[in-house]
Amino acid sequence: MPVTVSGPGRLRGEIIAPGDKSVSHRAAMFNAIANGSATVQNFSPGADCASTIEILRSMGVEIDREPGPDGYGDTVHISGMGMHGLEEPGGILDAGNSGTTTRLMSGILAGRDIFAVLTGDPSIRSRPMGRVVSPLREMGAEIFGRKGNTLAPLAFAGGNLKGTRYELPVASAQLKSSLILAGLRADGETVLEQPALSRDHTERMLNAMGASVTASDLTITVSPSDLDAVDVYVPGDISSAAFWMVAGITHPDAEIMIRGVGINPTRAGVIDALKLMNADIALENEREVAGEPVADIIARTSDLKGAVISGDIVPLLIDEVPILAVAAAMAEGETRFEDVEELRVKETDRIAASVDWMTAAGVTVESTADSMTVHGSGKIGGGTFNGHHDHRIAMSEGIAGLISASPVTIDGAEIASISYPEFWSEISKLGGTVE
């Protein structure tokens, strides 16, 4: 479905950020293997989290989903089956486009006394799964996959898990979470060494559920634990809010308020990066909601400057690089994204996809295996751009339409529904034209 976006002369409005995708996946999965039942409010409206729910249901988990209050996400009730209660699925488990579903479910399925096959769409079937399969096999799980156990479909066929000491080769929250989940059911302690911090929603939520998961600097120690179901109010997704932040700071006459955004420090690197670029971003009404820090964010027209974004901040803004690249195009001077090789193995190769569409939009962008440099000129052109079957690429192109002097047509715009089905109608609410 192609969508054409043009921007208004004056961009004003208020958005309620949709429920966080990472927290929603975890709230559903962890409560499914907990004792007791739980209610999750403001659940992510995206297709990715729906894939997680369907997978859990096909293993016997009772999950009811109903609309939440106006403007907020659905309310989901989950009846936990306990740590060992999941039933053998009758069919193949389909993670759709969701890497979080695939990798976290791998940790949940590993070493269980059931047979299960887990797969997803063509993107999922091309993404690296050896990073989870190999340490889970070392822990004793019987897991098989294509290309020497590195690609989905993955088959899980039992095994006896034992604790391990493992140095993560990448700062990946999906990998870390997968191994923590296996560690909860392993014999003995599991100790994980991270190369850098990544989002810590798993550690926070499992602690709230009574698990023995302790983090000290970059080391995480997990002991076998049962979980108690816990109600979760999901904060707004900062990765979705980032699109409106960038719209607000790059449009020549803008002020956008984004309400209820989760600002967990392991997720909020985008705010630091934008401030480094001289963005006028203000946080208001900072509060704590169900163990996660939340704020309202105001983004106003800014005089942006180029910056270097590299090193330990990268995992804290990894999903925001495509939209930060749009901010970089609208800045004065060069912005260098370094140490971003993980972008090559996301829903699509996000370095190649960004270089492709931004070049077509008249922006000078260069890349190497692990970096991307955007030469900011203060403008971004219109045209027809391929959404690359990647929600964050398609939405970045949508924001380009909102701030460009010429219309932008996004081919395959429907992919936004992976994380943000309301994205295109929110653009209209802000005064943009969407046809």
Please identify, using beta-carbon distances, which residue of 140 and 322 lies nearer to ligand S3P. Answer: 322
Please identify, using beta-carbon distances, which residue of 20 and 397 lies nearer to ligand S3P. Answer: 20
Residue number with the shortest CB distance to ligand S3P? 22
Q: H or E element: which one contains 250? A: helix 238-250
The answer to whether the beta carbons of residues 197 and 260 sit under 8 Å apart is: no
Closest residue by Cα to residue 320 from 201, 217, 199: 199
Closest residue by Cα to residue 238 from 266, 265, 259, 268: 268
Least spacing, CB of residue 145 vs ligand S3P, in Å: 17
Q: H or E element: which one contains 100? A: helix 99-109
Least spacing, CB of residue 172 vs ligand S3P, in Å: 4
Please identify, using beta-carbon distances, which residue of 198 and 373 lies nearer to ligand S3P. Answer: 198
Closest residue by Cα to residue 301 from 365, 241, 236, 248: 248
Please identify, using beta-carbon distances, which residue of 7 and 99 lies nearer to ligand S3P. Answer: 99
Please identify, using beta-carbon distances, which residue of 100 and 367 lies nearer to ligand S3P. Answer: 100
Least spacing, CB of residue 204 vs ligand S3P, in Å: 12
DSSP, collapsed to helix, strand or coil, labels residue 110 as coil
Active-site choice (319, 349, 390, 411): 319
**Would you give the DSSP letter of residue 316?**
G
| Cα gap 101→161, rounded to integer Å | 21
The answer to whether the beta carbons of residues 298 and 257 sit under 8 Å apart is: yes
Cis peptide before 153 (omega within 30 of 0): yes
Least spacing, CB of residue 48 vs ligand S3P, in Å: 9
Q: Which residues pair with 193 in a beta bridge?
A: 167, 219
Least spacing, CB of residue 128 vs ligand S3P, in Å: 9
Please identify, using beta-carbon distances, which residue of 199 and 251 lies nearer to ligand S3P. Answer: 199
**Residue 246 CA, distance from chain mean position:** 18
The answer to whether the beta carbons of residues 313 and 337 sit under 8 Å apart is: no
Least spacing, CB of residue 175 vs ligand S3P, in Å: 6
Sites of contact with ligand S3P (CB under 6 A): 22, 100, 172-174, 177, 198-199, 318-319, 342
Least spacing, CB of residue 202 vs ligand S3P, in Å: 7
Largest interatomic CA distance in the chain: 62
3-state secondary structure 415-431: HHHHCCCCHHHHHHHCC
Q: Is 319 a catalytic residue?
A: yes
Please identify, using beta-carbon distances, which residue of 289 and 345 lies nearer to ligand S3P. Answer: 345
CA distance to 47, 220, 347, 400, 414, per residue, from 1 (Å) = 17, 44, 19, 18, 6
271-283 burial, b at 16+ Cβ within 10 Å, e below that, comes to: bebbeebebbbee
Closest residue by Cα to residue 331 from 278, 382, 268: 278
Closest residue by Cα to residue 349 from 330, 321, 376, 329: 321
Active site residues: 319
